Amino acid sequence: MLMSERPSSYDEINAALRMHRGRSARPGRAFCTRCGIIWPPDSHIDSFGGSKMQTLHLSSASQYIAGILLITVVTIEVGGWYMTTIVRGMQDVTPFQATFARAGHAHAGVLVSLSLICLLFADAAALDGFFGWVARLGVPLAAILLPGGFFASSAGRGVTRPNRFFPLVWAGAAALAIGVLSLGIGLLLT
């Protein structure tokens, strides 16, 4: 295959670049050490008809927030371990506390996942300014407040009803609503 022809697969690209004194970079990428050709550059041909797909570059704000969110997954894992001790009867908790622990753990995992997706959408729509920040931070804030409200309002020995920290749940729900509304409206207006 000549380098002027359009390659049809990554195997062909890597084979052509090896003949061109290059080497394979990694699956899905090819790199020539002699001339510095990297294929695909910022876009590539997909397998469904040859349309180009653009690579999304994260803003520095979204990259920073995403890094923090990914680190918090470890705390969600610890919460999952704690949930297994509750289910196995190793913790002395009331049915109310077990239910709130389950709700807190579930909301934490779902909202961190949704936060990462919202960051991608905010960057894809190039949202900036006040609404860009609200779109990027609303759901992560909800991922802190909502589960925190469930855990804090059921803390203590023998608790059978929510304590004074339950309003954190409503604050988290409000942050979630504001975050997704600003993102949704921003996506519709761009």
List, for residues 157-177, the tens digit of each pLDDT value: 999 999 999 999 999 999 999
- Residue written as token pair 């239910």: 99
Do the Cβ atoms of 46 and 37 come closer than 8 Å? Answer: no
Do the Cβ atoms of 142 and 161 come closer than 8 Å? Answer: no
Do the Cβ atoms of 134 and 179 come closer than 8 Å? Answer: yes
Reported pTM: 0.70
Do the Cβ atoms of 75 and 104 come closer than 8 Å? Answer: no
Query: What's the length of the chain?
Result: 190
Which pLDDT does position 190 carry in this prediction?
Answer: 84
Give which of 100, 94, 92 is closest to 153, Cα–Cα: 100
Going by the DSSP 8-state scheme, the letter that residue 190 receives in this structure is -
Angstrom distance (rounded) from CA 24 to CA 14: 6
List, for residues 112-125, the tens digit of each pLDDT value: 999 999 999 999 88
Which pLDDT does position 23 carry in this prediction?
Answer: 47
For residue 17, pLDDT beyond 60? no
Is residue 40 reached through a cis peptide bond, with omega within 30 degrees of 0 on the bond before it?
yes
| Plot region of 156 (φ>0 → left; ψ -120 to 50 → alpha; else → beta) | left
